[in-house]
């Protein structure tokens, strides 16, 4: 085979270009936590989960929370969100927040997706609250998982 220097140079440039533009995974760290069963206080905030973030950066937050609404047959509104403090009504700016209405004696699954940019290690909290016509309605958390993946 007869190779010219020009052919080798073109091949080397093509190989270097391909290597420089090859996709690279950007996720560097993932933290996760699951909920245990909690009974939410009537028309008050209850913190149900938390995730510790050991590094500064931007995290992609994802997860879901299953809740059961029991008691007399009445419409109940349930909301869950991520906040920088436990039992806080102040949600994260771009953090997960989800709400829905359910008839009593029903299950509801709330998606919890968003992102968080932090300058320091720390914890974010998942809190929930419900509104019902009477205190006879109860809301209990069941299976739920929240993850935070460091993306930059």
- In this prediction, residues 103-127 reach a mean pLDDT of 92
Percent of all residues in the chain with a pLDDT value above 90, rounded to a whole number:
61
Contact 148, 31 (CB under 8 A): yes
pLDDT at 64: 95
Task: Output the DSSP codes for 89-146.
Answer: S---SSS-EEEEEEESSEEEEEE--EEEEESS-EEEEEEEEEE-SSTT-EEEEEEEEE
Tell me: pLDDT of 80 over 50.
yes
Q: State both tokens at 9.
A: 């140079």
Tell me: pLDDT of 111 over 50.
yes
Q: How many residues does the chain have?
A: 152
- In this prediction, residues 57-83 reach a mean pLDDT of 93
C-alpha 48/C-alpha 88 separation (Å) is 12
pLDDT at 131: 92
User: For the chain, which domains are there?
Assistant: 26-150 (2.60.120.660)
Contact 125, 84 (CB under 8 A): yes
Mean pLDDT over all residues of the chain?
A: 84
C-alpha 26/C-alpha 39 separation (Å) is 38
User: Which residues contact residue 95 at a Cβ distance below 8 angstroms, ignoring those fewer than 6 apart?
Assistant: 61, 81, 82, 83, 114, 115, 116, 124
pLDDT at 21: 46
pLDDT at 109: 94
- In this prediction, residues 41-49 reach a mean pLDDT of 92
pLDDT at 28: 72
């Amino acid at each position: 085979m007869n190779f010219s220097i020009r052919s080798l140079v073109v091949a080397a440039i093509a190989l270097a270009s391909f290597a420089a533009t090859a996709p690279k995974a950007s996720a560097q760290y993932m933290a996760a936590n699951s909920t245990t069963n909690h009974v939410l206080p009537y028309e008050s905030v209850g913190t149900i989960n938390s995730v510790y973030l050991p590094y500064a950066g931007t995290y992609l937050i994802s997860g879901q929370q299953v809740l059961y609404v029991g008691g007399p047959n009445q419409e109940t509104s349930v909301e869950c969100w991520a906040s920088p403090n436990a039992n806080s009504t102040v949600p994260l700016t771009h953090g997960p927040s989800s709400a829905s209405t359910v008839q009593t004696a029903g299950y509801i699954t709330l998606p919890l997706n968003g992102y968080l940019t932090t300058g320091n290690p720390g914890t974010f909290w998942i809190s929930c609250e419900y509104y019902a016509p009477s205190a006879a309605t109860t809301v209990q958390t069941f299976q739920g998982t929240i993850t935070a993946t460091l993306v930059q």
